[in-house]
Structure 1
Amino acid sequence: MKKGMILVLTGASSVGKNLIRDELMKDEEMNLFYSISVTTRPKKEDEIDGKDYYFVSYETFASAVRNRELLEYTEFGGYYYGTPCQQVDFLINQGKNVLIEVEAQGVGQIKLKHPDALCVFVIPENMDELEKQIRLRYKDDETTIQQRLNKAKMEMELQPLFNNVVTNTDAAASAATIKKAFLDEWKKG
């Protein structure tokens, strides 16, 4: 059985990765399974444990780090986020392709363990559009808006490290571009 492949989706905060992810996940030809992250962040009212995230305590998260159970992990806003190794390894060994959506700094950790992973950096049409998206998403919290804007500017500095960069002006078109690059790589392997 042919092993599955990992598709890593990253980019600046609020650039539209979720919409692109949703488009990719609908495409049966991609044979994609979404890797659910683990987090110490409290569950929001509309979130479902085991579907949106695995919500865990700081102690459980620290144990996972100590035991090398996370493919990558990062901290933002005082909370930790990570990708469970076991889930990803199980799926790719079953011939399934895995979509992992992570912060840009987590990509290096993934590439060390899975050098054949296709990593895509999603960028906005321009910084003004990105700021507009951040302000729409976090409209009532100027502190969070400024945090996200600063984070997005730092993340955009990482763009030159990626061979696959997609400008997101339309989620469906961006997903189609990513699909082509992914299937080309998958067919090579």
Structure 2
Amino acid sequence: MPATLHADAKSLLTGWQPATPAGRRARAATLRLLDDGPVALTRAHRPGHLTASTLVVDATGSRVLLCLHGRYGVWVQLGGHCEPDDATLAGAALREATEESGITGLRLDPRPIDLDIHPVTCHGRSTHHDVRFVAVAPPDAVERVSPESTALGWFAPDALPRPLADATEQLVAPALAAVRRTRARRAP
């Protein structure tokens, strides 16, 4: 993994102020993980590695896009592993969201809305330190299922599908709040 991505991740998380005590603990643990260097962004790092995901919100701000994960059979936000060509963590999140949704023109807020640490079984047992972002889809967005998922769907916040990944539901309120803040800043 390039040192530039590692430096970006450290800088982004150092400057980010989570809203909850759990978020602050996750941020501290992830910064300690990043002390291991760029390898902490790769699957080869057995203690765990950084991933980047995105909750996509429709142009009206009333629905979220989730995918039915092909391997685990639960509904989740879009995202995954960092790649050697990723220059920034926000860029990795946008790349993953674009690849997994098939939607071009997503507008990603470069500030995280959450960070979740959870065990996974990708290439053996490990831990994902998943930095989570929000993106808004263009009004004419048409989603397309990727090879990593079985289905994609738009859902209202009060009608989320089941089974839903444990930490996905907690993203909805901060994602919608971030979209409202962005719209308020852009209003004349």
- TM above 0.5: no
User: Greater relative contact order (Cα 8 A, min sep 6): structure 1 or 2?
Assistant: 1
* Structure whose residues are more often helix by fraction: 1
